[in-house]
Structures are given as structure tokens and as C-alpha cells.
Amino acid sequence: MLAGTVSAGKHFSDPFKKAANRVTGFIYNDQFDAAANTLDSLSTALPGNPVVPLFRAVLYQSEMMAEESDRLEDDFYSLLAKVKIGADSMLAAGGDSALAWYFAGQADALRSLRRGRSGHTWGALKAGLSAGRAYSKGYSADSQFFDIGLGLGSYRYWKSVKGKFLTWAFLLKNEKEEGIELVRLAVDSSEISSDAAVTSLIWIYLNEERYPEAIRLAESMHEKYPLGLTFVWALGETYRGMHDWRTAADYYRRILERLKSAPGNYYNIIEASYYLVICYRQIGDIDSTSDVYTKQVQADLRACPIPDNIRKRQSKKIDFILHEDRH
């Protein structure tokens, strides 16, 4: 058996950990077909285990985020339903409750993220709160299960940050620092979530304006996964937050060049162009040659065969790129 309870504090077997790390590496390198093939092998080895639909849901979420589409959404939600059924079955059978709550929490967290990206605020909030409850129950069952600690830590941090009004009104407890500490612990101590914990910490540090720490982690992850764009985006965002416009522009140029080499992701072509033009216009205050680069981005965007639905979603950013003055 590749996954399941082995002992207190150990919820996944070593063979499964190796397979999980392979899937994670393929996802971070944007090698989605390779990740799917590995999951196909796991599905044969672990029939009915909720860990397989969970990882496949993570894969589908990553694909949709990378291309800013919803083409896998129906299958994604079907997979989450399977994960929840598996978690409920484990609890009903009196199995590993911490692992069962981990599965339930992960399914709700993925649902919350997807609903939020689709603009369904209430659905995202409801699923997020459900994830927080599941994570808390699982962590209470085994506080050495640091994979579920990552979920709980992320929930506590972002709940405290995004719900500032409610924490000020004493309706929600501010657990921001406790959340950061749980995520930090997961970096070194989780069984299958170390890279996910580092990624979570990068975005937390970026939100906290702890830019040197975010850069250190993002650079190490980009070196580890050079084929993916996740950490190139993170580095661009971090340097832009620092107002290091030239370095940020360099990362957005890399993203744009990569996207153009495999055309089709027009949403993110616009995103990268938008942030690149912001950087160029800031650089233009001290270096007028940046106007030449801005004009090139504008010309490339005008020639880009952007579908009507993407053009509508990104209309404000397109207008900024093509028509706005420097300030």
C-alpha cells in the first residue's frame, strides 16, 4: 500500500512521497502531461484512495491557472466531490481521522480558491470557512501532521489579512503570526508539502512587504523548477513591489517571451504586457529610451489575435497599455 496511516506523525508511505514529489515537480515545471501520466500510474496502484483525485484536482487547478481558463472546471469539481466522499468514508470507518480531515480540508480549500478566481465571493468564503474547520479538526487529532498544518496556517494567515474588518470588530481572531509559523514549520517538516509551503510563504512575504525573504525563496524555487513560470511571476511581483522597475521589467519580459513561444494564453500575455508597461513608464522618468520599448509592446499587442472574450475581460488593462499617458 502506497499511502495511508503508517504511524503517529506519518501519514504517507515513502513510495507515495516519491511519487507525490514527482507530480509536484512536473506541475511547477508546467509539465502537465507528465504529471497526468504519473497520476495515471498512481490511480492503478491506489484504486479508490482520495489522494489520487486530490492530486489530479491540484493538477487541473494548476493548468487552469496557468492558462487562465475554466476548460477543466466540471471535471475539477467532480474530483473534489470524490475526495470529500473518500474523506467521509474514512471518518465513518474510524480510520485515520487526521488524514481524513486533511482530504476534506484540501478539497474545500481548492474549491474556495477556484470560486474566488471565478468571482463567486460568497461561495469562496463558505468553502474557505469549511476548509478551516476541517484543518482545525485534523490538526487537533495530530499536531505533528505538518501537511495539514500548512493548510491551517495558510487559512489562519489569509483569514486574518483578508478579514481585517472582522478582526478589528472582534468577530474573528487575528491569527496572522500563528499562521506564518505553521507554514514555516511545514517547509521543513511536512511529508509531501514542502514545496507548496515554500510557495505559500513567498506570497505571504510578498503581502507582508518582506521583499528580501520573498526574493530568496522565489529564486531558490525558480532554480529548482526552471521550466515553469510560477516563480518568475513571483519575482516580477516582488521587484515591482520594491520599485526596482528595471529588474521587474526583466522578469516580465521573460514571461512575455515564454508565452509568445507557445501562443494561446492571451490573458496572461496581456497581464505581462500590462506590468511591463507599468515598469517602462516608471523607468521613463529617468530614461526616455524606455518609450521605445513601450511602443514595441503596444505594437505587439495590437497584432495579437486576442479572442473577444479575453479582450472583454482585460479591456481596462488593454486600454492602459495602448492609450494611457505615462502617469
Which top CATH class is 1-141?
mainly alpha
Q: What gap in Å lies between CA 49 and CA 54, rounded to an integer? A: 9
CA dihedral 175, 150, 128, 108 (to 10 degrees): -160
> Residue 304 gets which letter from DSSP?
S
User: Residue 192: helix, strand or coil by DSSP?
Assistant: coil
Q: What gap in Å lies between CA 238 and CA 273, rounded to an integer? A: 17
Task: Report pLDDT for 163.
Answer: 62
Give CA separation, 204 vs 161, 173, 174, 209, in Å. Answer: 10, 18, 15, 9
The one-letter code for the residue type at 58 is: V
What would the grid cell of residue 23 be?
507530480
Task: Report pLDDT for 172.
Answer: 58
Asked whether the CA dihedral 113, 32, 270, 245 is positive or negative, the reply is: positive
Task: Report pLDDT for 262.
Answer: 81
Identify the helix (H) or strand (E) that includes residue 5. strand 3-7
Contacts 24+ apart (CB under 8 A), 281-290: 281/326, 281/327, 282/243, 282/245, 283/245, 283/246, 283/249, 284/326, 285/326
Q: Domain boundaries in the chain?
A: 1-141, 145-225, 243-327
The pair phi, psi for residue 64, each rounded to 5°, is -65, -35
Task: Report pLDDT for 47.
Answer: 78
Q: Are 92 and 115 in contact (CB under 8 A)?
A: no
In this prediction, the residues of the chain whose per-residue pLDDT falls under 50 are 1-8, 164-171, 326-327
The whole model's pTM is what? 0.90
* 295 contacts: CB under 8 Å, gap ≥ 6: none
> Residue 307 gets which letter from DSSP?
-
The pair phi, psi for residue 138, each rounded to 5°, is -65, -40
